[in-house]
Amino acid sequence: MSDTELVSTEPATGAFLWRGTCGNVDAEVTEACQSWAAWAARPLSYRVEAMRRFANVVRSRADDFADLIARETGKPLWEARTEVDSVIGKVDISVSAYAERTGQRRLDSQMSARLALRHKPHGVLAVLGPYNFPAHLPNGHIVPALLAGNAVVFKPSEKTPATGAFLVDCYRKAGVPEGCVRLLIGGPEAGRALSSHPLIDGLLFTGSARTGIALNRQFAEQPEKILALEMGGNNPIVVWDTPDVYSAAVLVIQSAFTSAGQRCTAARRLIVEQRLAEPLLDQVNQLIDRMIVGEPHANPAPFMGPVIDNDAADQLTESFLNLSTRGGRPIRYLERPIEGRPFLTPGLIDMTDASERPDVELFGPLLQVVRTESFEEAIAEANNTRYGLSAALVSQDPKRYDAFWANIRAGIVNWNRPTNGAASNAPFGGIGWSGNHRPSAFYAADYCAYPVVSSEAEQARASIGLGLRDA
């Protein structure tokens, strides 16, 4: 990457994929500032129709889009196709959410006046996208922001710029005004310049807790700007008192290793009843033995591809060694099956007797195991994190789930389901270091517009009944 251009390569092969010119932050923000008012003045029906055209454009280009996502992220083609489906489905979900969360309402009022509730757009919203779902996650901000009448300046991850450019091109082909969806190509410096630009009215962020916390500090003295943070998680999956050990193992595999563990909702910690630990880990190991790790278009289709780049793979390998030095007992080592490429086989490490369990998000196929004797201890261990995004319980006892739901600290709490795979027609977000209480997905409408309450009457009729001297 140079100061003037950005190059994207395929993680699975190292092949050149895309080259683009780095953008000018001032120019992109200025263009959005000049365009959003005319877009906001359009009827909602006009903006809805534009979003439906966008969905149709994506649908017509779905194969090319999925192929690009797979090549740029390394994820299997089948998974890239589900991401494109999510991009399409986001439109109808956002239209419904806008009507439910931010629609116009008439409220009861005293003195024959009417009370009206409406919503206004903020203006220009910056969107910083991640690399793990480079189309779906930023699009989850962009669609509701545009529906509300905002303009957007979108900076994709420097690791997946081609997908970001393709997404914006779909908006162009759908006839959305160019000034309302601006693409900013660039590295971390461009992201910092965009987030600190004085003319943006808010920032919608998806990424790491470290960056999110820095943004939170940056915006602390700017209460006039909206900030929505969707960050990561050190997510637990608890397996307790279940007779179906195989199904529990499948749920653990799906939670920890889908997308090569590169999901913010991926399970990072397996907390298991002591008596179930060995049979469960045996089943998990058997499934890993059968797991295909390969390039996106391989046949048969892989379960997972590489992590995003060699730096990420190196950091995960170093993290595994670091956990071992703290007393972790390796069960299954992370391996690099293809020299020079960021493929990793799933890693397992038992941290039950470790001197310290670092509370960090290890963004890859690395699962830590903690054995406990009591369910209360399991819940305490699950809550032993500053994060609070996702948690899952595998158990056939409804009372245990009731206790788990009541006591766990997370924004997503699942029962006999994986920690990941959240639905777009529900709110998505966490607490602690996982977010700032502005959940996305269905609730994204809440931070894309602000409520305006009006007390209204056709004529000015007023009197003062008390506190005046006689005329």
* Percentage of the residues of the chain whose pLDDT score is greater than 70: 99
Mean of the pLDDT values across residues 140-144? 98
Neighbours of 200 (CB within 10 A): 23
Chain segment 10-28, per-residue pLDDT in tens: 999 999 999 999 999 999 9
Q: Do 30 and 81 share a domain, yes or no?
A: yes
149: in domain: yes
Sign of CA dihedral 394, 395, 400, 405: positive
**73, 308 contact by CB (below 8 A):** yes
Chain segment 254-286, per-residue pLDDT in tens: 999 999 999 999 999 999 999 999 999 999 999
Question: How many Å apart are CA 67 and CA 227, to the nearest integer?
Answer: 33
Q: Do 180 and 35 share a domain, yes or no?
A: yes
Q: Do 223 and 144 share a domain, yes or no?
A: yes
Question: How many Å apart are CA 256 and CA 235, to the nearest integer?
Answer: 9
Question: What residues make up the domain containing 99?
Answer: 5-231+435-456
Chain segment 227-263, per-residue pLDDT in tens: 999 999 999 999 999 999 999 999 999 999 999 999 9
Which residues are 153's β-sheet partners?
126, 182
For residue 233, give the nearest of 194, 262, 257, 258 by alpha carbon: 262
Q: Do 223 and 257 share a domain, yes or no?
A: no
Chain segment 440-456, per-residue pLDDT in tens: 999 999 999 999 999 88
Q: Do 339 and 282 share a domain, yes or no?
A: yes
Question: How many Å apart are CA 12 and CA 294, to the nearest integer?
Answer: 8
Query: Residue 108 has what pLDDT?
Result: 74
* Residue 2 binned pLDDT confidence (cut-offs 50, 70, 90): low
**77-93 burial: b if 16+ Cβ within 10 Å, else e:** bebbbebbebbbebbbb
Query: Residue 460 has what pLDDT?
Result: 86
Question: How many Å apart are CA 185 and CA 19, to the nearest integer?
Answer: 10
Q: DSSP string covering 17-34, please? A: EEEEEPP-HHHHHHHHHH
Question: How many Å apart are CA 468 and CA 44, to the nearest integer?
Answer: 47
47 Cβ neighbours under 8 A, 6+ residues apart: 39, 146, 147, 149
Chain segment 393-445, per-residue pLDDT in tens: 999 999 999 999 999 999 999 999 999 988 889 999 999 999 999 999 999 99
Catalytic residues: 230, 264
461: in domain: no
Query: Residue 38 has what pLDDT?
Result: 98
467: in domain: no
429: in domain: no
426: in domain: no
Q: Do 87 and 209 share a domain, yes or no?
A: yes
Chain segment 102-125, per-residue pLDDT in tens: 988 887 766 667 889 999 999 999
422: in domain: no
**pTM of the full predicted structure?**
0.96
Query: Residue 112 has what pLDDT?
Result: 64
464: in domain: no
Mean of the pLDDT values across residues 384-393? 98
* 3: pLDDT strictly greater than 80: no
User: Residue 268 maps to which CATH number?
Assistant: 3.40.309.10
Mean of the pLDDT values across residues 147-156? 98
Q: What are phi and psi of 310, to 5 degrees?
A: -65, -30
Mean of the pLDDT values across residues 192-221? 97
Q: Do 446 and 407 share a domain, yes or no?
A: no
466: in domain: no
Q: Do 328 and 364 share a domain, yes or no?
A: yes
Q: Do 249 and 226 share a domain, yes or no?
A: no
Query: Residue 104 has what pLDDT?
Result: 86
Number of domains in the chain: 2
Q: Do 175 and 261 share a domain, yes or no?
A: no
Q: What are phi and psi of 25, to 5 degrees?
A: -60, -45
Q: Do 302 and 448 share a domain, yes or no?
A: no
Mean of the pLDDT values across residues 384-401? 98
Query: Using the 8-state DSSP alphabet, how is residue 304 labeled?
Result: B
Q: What is the mean pLDDT of the chain?
A: 96
Mean of the pLDDT values across residues 189-218? 97
Q: Do 214 and 284 share a domain, yes or no?
A: no
User: Residue 451 maps to which CATH number?
Assistant: 3.40.605.10
Chain segment 365-382, per-residue pLDDT in tens: 999 999 999 999 999 999
